[in-house]
Amino acid sequence: MIIGVLGPGGSYSERAAKLWMRKNDLEGAELRYFEDIEDAFLAAAGGKTDISVIPIENSIEGSVGVTLDLLREDGAVITGEVVVKIEHCLLSKGGPEAIRVILSHPQALAQCRHFLKMNFPHAELRSTGSTSHAARLAGEFEEMAAIASPEAAEKYGLKVLLSNIQDRKENHTRFIVVRAEGSGKYGPSGCKEADRIQNRCKTSLIAYLAKDRPGSLYGLLGTFAERGINLTKIESRPSKKELGDYYFYIDFEGSASDALIKDALEDIKAKADMLKVLGSYPALRNSEA
């Protein structure tokens, strides 16, 4: 089994994948590293990996836009989720007085915005494809530092100058496990009966309302309210066609195989101009909190 993750080694995506492997008895799986989120996602959608573990949402900075766009545009389904505690550290070969450039993934830089402004106001901030990529680059020059995980420090021979530098103490990233549509050979697919009994299933979908008219979104959300279905997330994402035109991403409790959910989805089909069900899967909480 091949699992795609954002690389190189030492990334939070790697941590999420290893947690997923332990929880699903997949210790023999092979991790395959990709330069960016899109490459890892498309590898799963195209069958080059059996699954890929992709970041979708952070508790400080919100959703990962590229992941939302890929879910709409490409043929992959969600088969699980993992929530990982984020522990950003400032890593470098030299000391803090030598730092001139700080590298990291854009999300990590944003999650540490206040810290950077207060402590390194004159440092140049550079974006990289992942936090672990930043750590690898920081190992080349003493005036460079990286915001990355403790694992990255150990892997690339860097010193941990400061720990837990994110602007909020509670910092978690939710990762989704995706696979190609129609491929259920590897990993849990859908919700098991035990998950359904314990009300631990979640379903994700995308809906598009082409006509902007009063009450259109209210009517869509009313479909869930009328049936007592609890929404866990709703977010709009620009369609990229014109200003004010949006796709709606909705997560809710329940499995698409439940009679109540099936009935709701049929109702939504009649109201929306596009409906894409991204998958039903066991819902997790803060797995490493």
Cα atoms in the 13 Å half-sphere on the side-chain side of 180: 15
Residue in 49, 173, 203, 223 annotated catalytic: 173
Is 34 tagged catalytic? no
User: Alpha helices of 172-272 — where are they, by DSSP H?
Assistant: 193-197, 216-226, 259-271
Pairing verdict, β 201-208 and 246-253: antiparallel
* Residue burial 74-88, b: 16+ Cβ < 10 Å; e: rest: bebbbbbbbbbebbb
Count other C-beta atoms under 10 Å from residue 121's C-beta.
Answer: 7
The CA-CA-CA angle for residues 129, 31, 126, to 5°, reads 10
Alpha carbon distance 152, 186 (integer Å): 29
Is 203 tagged catalytic? no
Residue in 41, 175, 224, 252 annotated catalytic: 175
Structure tokens at 42: 């498309």
Q: Give the helix/strand (H/E) hosting 138.
A: helix 131-138
Active site (catalytic) residues = 173, 175
